C-alpha cells in the first residue's frame, strides 16, 4: 500500500480522510461520492459534476470503453479526462461487474490495467471475481483465491503513478471477507473496495451488507481507504460511513431516473406517487411533479437524475458534518428509523459495538438517546466496561436517579441507559447525554446491566439502588444483594 490516505476526524469507524490521487494531482476529501458515467448513456454531462454538485472523482468502466471501437480510439487518442470533459480524478472499473452479470469477458487483469493506464485513468481496477451473496462456501473460497491471484498479478503490472484498487470479496462469509481484507492490505495496491455487495443493496439487505463490510474492515488496517462498490442510495450513506467506508459510487442517480424513480434519504419514491417534491434542490424548487411528468422523456430523465445527484451529495455533506461534530450515530439512527431495512443495518452494526468502540473518540457532541437501539451504542458498552475498573469508596453506596443521601458513605448518580457513575463524571461525555423523560425498557435494562457490572466488580460493597420505577425486566438483572428503593412509589 502506498501512503496516499490520511485519516482525520473520527467518529466510531467513520472518518474524514484525505486521499491523494497523484496522477490527477488532486487530494480528495472523503467520504466522497463518485458519480458513475456510462460513456454510452450520459444523463448528466460530467463537466457539470464538479461545478454544480461538488464531485471530485467520477468512476467509469474501461471495459465498456475498450469494447467499443469508437470509444476506445477516442480514449487512447485524447485521454479519458478530455473525452468525458471532467477535470477531477477518474477511477475506472475493469469489467468484473460484466463478468458477474454475463459469465465471461474478453480481457484479463494485465491487459485491462495497461489499457486503463493508457487512457489516463487515475485509479484502475484488476479483474476481481464478484462472488454473489449466499454462494456455497467452496465457490466463495475458490473465487477468492482467484481474486487474490489477480491482485498479486496487478502488483507486477507497470501502472506508473495510477493508483490500483484491491477489491475485497468473500460473498456473505464474514470470515472470508476478513481474510480477503488481510490479504488485500498486504499487497502494495492502494484502495480497498468491498465488492459484490450490489445484489445485497438491491435487495435492501443492509444487515448482510453490514456484516460483509465489518468483516472486511477487521482484516484491513485503519489507514486503508475503503470503497463500497456500487453503493449509490443516499438512504444508506450514513450507515456505510459508520461502517468505515470512505468512497461510494452512484449509478443509482441515473438508473433510477430512467424509470421515474426519485431518491430521498429515507427511500425511493415513484414520480407517479408524488403530489409535491419534498426536497430543496434547484430542480425541486423550480418544478412541480406535473412539470416533470409532462416534460419529454429526455428532459424528465435528466431533471430526475439532477435531483438524485443533489440529494446524494447533500447527504454526503450531512454525513461529513456529522462525523466532524461526533454525532454520526444520531444521523444513522434517524435514517434507520425511517425505513425497516436501514433499521436492520443499524441493528447489525450495533451487534458489533465492540468493533466500533475500539476506534471511537472518547469525547464527542452530546449523546442523544433516540430509541431502544441507542441503548446498544458503543458508548454504553464502553461505560459498562469502565464500571469494571472504577473505584468505589466506602462500604455502603447509594446508586440513585435522584438526590444523594448522607446516610450512605457515597452516592453515585444513575442515568439510563448507562447506569451508575460517580458524580464527578457528570459533566463528561457521554454522561452529558440528552435522554427522554419517558425512557423505554431497553434504556432501563441497559442501566440495570451497569448496576450488575458495578456490583460484580465490588463484591464487598453494599449497594442500594434508588430508581424511579424501573420495569421488572430491568430489575431482574440487578443482583439480589443490591437493595432496591422505588422512589416513584416510596417502597
Ligand atoms: N462494481 C460493483 N461491484 C463490483 C465488484 O465486486 N468488483 C468490481 N470490479 N466492480 C464492481
Ligand atoms: Zn430535489
Domain coordinates of the chain in residue numbers? Answer: 5-356, 372-486
Which pLDDT band, with edges at 50, 70 and 90, does 305 fall under?
A: very high
The predicted pLDDT at position 151 comes to: 98
Tens digits of residue pLDDT in 132-180: 999 999 999 999 999 999 999 999 999 999 999 999 999 999 999 999 9
**Which residues have C-beta under 5 Å from ligand 2, the single-atom ion?**
279, 281, 283-284, 307
DSSP designation for 352: T
Greatest CA separation for the chain: 88
Q: What is the mean pLDDT of residues 262-279?
A: 97
Which pLDDT band, with edges at 50, 70 and 90, does 393 fall under?
A: confident
The predicted pLDDT at position 236 comes to: 98
Asked whether residue 1 carries a pLDDT value surpassing 80, the answer given is: no
The predicted pLDDT at position 2 comes to: 74
Asked whether residue 105 carries a pLDDT value surpassing 90, the answer given is: no
DSSP designation for 366: P
| Phi, psi at 465, each rounded to 5° | -105, 115
Mode of pairing for the β-strands spanning 26-30 and 14-21? antiparallel
- DSSP calls for 398-450: EEESS---TTSSEEEEEETTTEEEEGGGTTSTTTT-B--SS--HHHHHHHHHH
Cα→Cα distances 44→28, 84, 241, 283, 430, Å: 21, 11, 26, 13, 45
Give the rounded percent of residues in the chain with a pLDDT score beyond 70: 100
Tens digits of residue pLDDT in 49-98: 999 999 999 999 999 999 999 999 999 999 999 999 999 999 999 999 88
The predicted pLDDT at position 424 comes to: 92
Question: Closest ligand to 150 CA?
Answer: 1
Of the candidates 140, 212, 138, 139, the residue with the CA atom closest to the CA atom of residue 178:
212
Cα→Cα distances 488→69, 302, 466, 468, Å: 79, 61, 9, 5
- Rounded distance from Cα 97 to ligand 1 centre (Å): 5
Asked whether residue 212 carries a pLDDT value surpassing 90, the answer given is: yes
CB of 198 closer than 6 angstroms to any ligand 1 atom:
yes
Go through 111-149 and write b for each residue having 16 or more CB atoms within 10 A of its CB, e for each that does not. Answer: ebbebbbbbbbbbbbbbbbbbebebeeeebbebbeebbe
The residues, any chain, with a CB within 8 Å of residue 217's CB and separated by 6 or more, are 13, 181, 226, 243, 244, 355
The predicted pLDDT at position 102 comes to: 86
- Higher pLDDT, residue 326 or 358: 326
Q: Which residue from 36, 100, 250 has its CB within 8 A of the most atoms of ligand 1, so it is best to mutate?
A: 100
- Rounded distance from Cα 55 to ligand 2 centre (Å): 17
The closest-lying atom of ligand 1 relative to the alpha carbon of residue 94 is: 9
Asked whether residue 38 carries a pLDDT value surpassing 90, the answer given is: yes
Q: Which residue from 130, 191, 247 has its CB within 8 A of the most atoms of ligand 1, so it is best to mutate?
A: 130
The predicted pLDDT at position 395 comes to: 93
Of the candidates 76, 1, 94, 84, the residue with the CA atom closest to the CA atom of residue 39:
84
Against a cut of 0.75, is the pTM above it? yes
CA angle 410, 413, 414 (to 5 degrees): 130
The predicted pLDDT at position 416 comes to: 98
Residues tagged in the binding site annotation for substrate: 128, 196
- Higher pLDDT, residue 172 or 489: 172
User: What are residue 248's DSSP bridge partners?
Assistant: 33, 228
Q: How far is CA 68 from the centre of its chain?
A: 35
The predicted pLDDT at position 451 comes to: 98
How much is the mean pLDDT over the chain?
96
Name the region of 358 (left: φ>0; alpha: ψ -120 to 50; beta: rest): alpha
Of the candidates 7, 14, 31, the residue with the CA atom closest to the CA atom of residue 242:
14
Give the rounded percent of residues in the chain with a pLDDT score beyond 90: 92
Tell me yes or no: is domain 5-356 CATH 3.20.20.105: yes
Q: What is the mean pLDDT of residues 278-286?
A: 97
The predicted pLDDT at position 491 comes to: 84
- Higher pLDDT, residue 441 or 362: 441
The predicted pLDDT at position 133 comes to: 97
93 labelled catalytic: yes
The closest-lying atom of ligand 1 relative to the alpha carbon of residue 125 is: 9
The H helix count followed by the E strand count for the chain is 21, 18
How far is 419 from 6, CA to CA, in rounded Å? 37
Which pLDDT band, with edges at 50, 70 and 90, does 394 fall under?
A: confident
Q: What is the mean pLDDT of residues 443-449?
A: 98
CB of 109 closer than 6 angstroms to any ligand 1 atom:
no
Which pLDDT band, with edges at 50, 70 and 90, does 490 fall under?
A: confident
CB of 229 closer than 6 angstroms to any ligand 1 atom:
yes
The predicted pLDDT at position 104 comes to: 85
Name the region of 235 (left: φ>0; alpha: ψ -120 to 50; beta: rest): alpha
Tens digits of residue pLDDT in 219-255: 999 999 999 999 999 999 999 999 999 999 989 999 9
User: What are residue 21's DSSP bridge partners?
Assistant: 26
Asked whether residue 488 carries a pLDDT value surpassing 90, the answer given is: no
User: What are residue 193's DSSP bridge partners?
Assistant: 227
The predicted pLDDT at position 362 comes to: 72
The residues, any chain, with a CB within 8 Å of residue 472's CB and separated by 6 or more, are none
CA angle 252, 256, 259 (to 5 degrees): 160
- Rounded distance from Cα 130 to ligand 1 centre (Å): 6
Active-site choice (93, 122, 190, 246):
93
CB 246 within 8 Å of CB 226: yes
Amino acid at each position: 500500500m502506498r501512503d496516499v490516505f490520511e485519516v482525520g476526524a473520527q467518529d466510531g469507524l467513520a472518518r474524514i480522510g484525505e486521499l491523494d490521487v497523484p496522477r490527477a494531482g488532486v487530494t480528495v476529501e472523503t467520504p466522497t461520492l463518485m458519480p458513475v458515467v456510462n460513456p454510452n448513456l450520459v444523463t448528466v454531462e460530467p463537466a457539470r459534476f464538479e461545478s454544480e454538485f461538488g464531485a471530485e472523482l467520477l468512476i467509469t468502466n474501461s471495459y465498456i470503453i475498450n469494447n467499443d471501437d469508437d470509444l476506445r480510439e477516442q480514449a487512447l487518442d485524447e485521454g479519458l479526462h478530455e473525452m468525458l470533459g471532467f477535470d477531477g480524478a477518474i477511477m475506472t472499473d475493469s469489467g468484473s461487474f460484466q463478468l458477474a452479470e454475463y459469465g465471461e469477458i474478453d480481457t484479463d487483469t494485465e491487459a485491462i490495467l495497461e489499457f486503463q493506464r493508457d487512457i489516463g485513468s487515475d485509479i484502475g481496477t484488476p479483474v476481481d471475481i464478484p462472488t454473489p451473496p449466499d454462494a456455497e462456501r467452496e465457490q466463495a473460497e475458490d473465487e477468492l483465491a482467484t481474486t487474490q491471484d489477480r491482485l498479486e498479478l496487478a502488483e507486477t503490472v507497470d501502472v506508473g503513478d495510477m493508483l490500483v484498487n484491491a477489491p475485497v470479496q468473500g460473498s456473505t462469509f464474514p470470515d472470508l471477507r476478513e481474510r480477503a481484507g488481510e490479504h488485500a492490505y498486504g499487497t502494495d495496491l492502494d484502495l480497498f473496495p468491498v465488492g459484490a455487495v450490489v445484489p445485497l443493496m438491491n435487495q435492501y439487505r443492509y444487515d448482510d451488507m453490514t456484516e460483509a463490510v465489518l468483516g472486511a474492515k477487521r482484516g484491513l488496517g485503519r489507514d486503508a481507504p475503503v470503497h463500497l462498490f456500487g453503493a449509490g442510495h443516499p438512504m444508506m450513506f450514513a450507515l456505510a460511513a459508520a461502517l468505515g467506508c470512505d468512497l461510494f459510487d452512484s449509478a443509482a442517480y441515473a438508473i433510477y431516473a430512467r424509470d421515474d424513480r426519485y431518491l430521498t434519504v429515507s427511500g425511493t419514491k415513484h414520480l407517479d406517487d408524488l403530489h409535491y417534491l419534498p426536497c430543496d434542490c434547484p430542480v425541486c424548487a423550480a418544478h412541480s411533479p406535473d412539470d416533470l411528468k409532462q416534460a419529454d422523456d429526455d428532459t424528465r430523465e435528466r431533471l430526475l437524475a439532477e435531483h438524485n445527484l443533489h440529494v446524494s451529495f447533500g447527504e454526503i455533506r450531512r454525513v461529513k458534518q456529522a462525523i466532524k461534530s461526533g454525532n454520526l450515530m444520531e444521523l444513522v439512527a434517524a435514517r434507520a428509523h425511517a425505513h425497516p431495512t436501514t433499521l436492520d443495518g443499524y441493528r447489525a452494526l450495533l451487534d458489533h459495538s465492540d468493533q466500533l468502540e475500539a476506534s471511537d473518540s472518547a469525547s464527542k457532541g452530546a449523546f442523544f438517546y433516540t430509541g431502544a437501539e441507542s441503548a446498544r451504542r458503543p458508548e454504553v458498552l464502553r461505560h459498562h466496561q469502565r464500571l469494571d475498573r472504577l473505584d468505589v469508596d466506602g462500604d455502603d453506596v447509594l446508586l440513585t436517579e435522584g438526590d444523594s443521601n448522607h446516610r450512605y458513605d457515597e452516592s453515585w448518580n444513575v442515568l439510563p441507559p448507562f447506569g451508575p457513575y460517580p458524580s464527578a463524571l457528570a459533566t463528561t461525555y457521554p454522561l452529558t447525554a440528552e435522554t427522554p423523560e419517558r425512557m423505554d425498557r431497553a434504556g432501563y435494562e441497559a442501566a440495570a446491566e451497569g448496576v450488575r457490572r458495578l456490583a460484580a466488580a465490588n463484591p464487598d460493597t453494599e449497594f442500594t439502588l434508588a430508581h424511579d420505577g424501573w420495569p421488572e425486566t430491568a430489575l431482574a438483572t440487578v443482583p439480589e444483594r443490591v437493595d432496591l428503593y422505588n422512589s416513584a412509589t416510596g417502597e
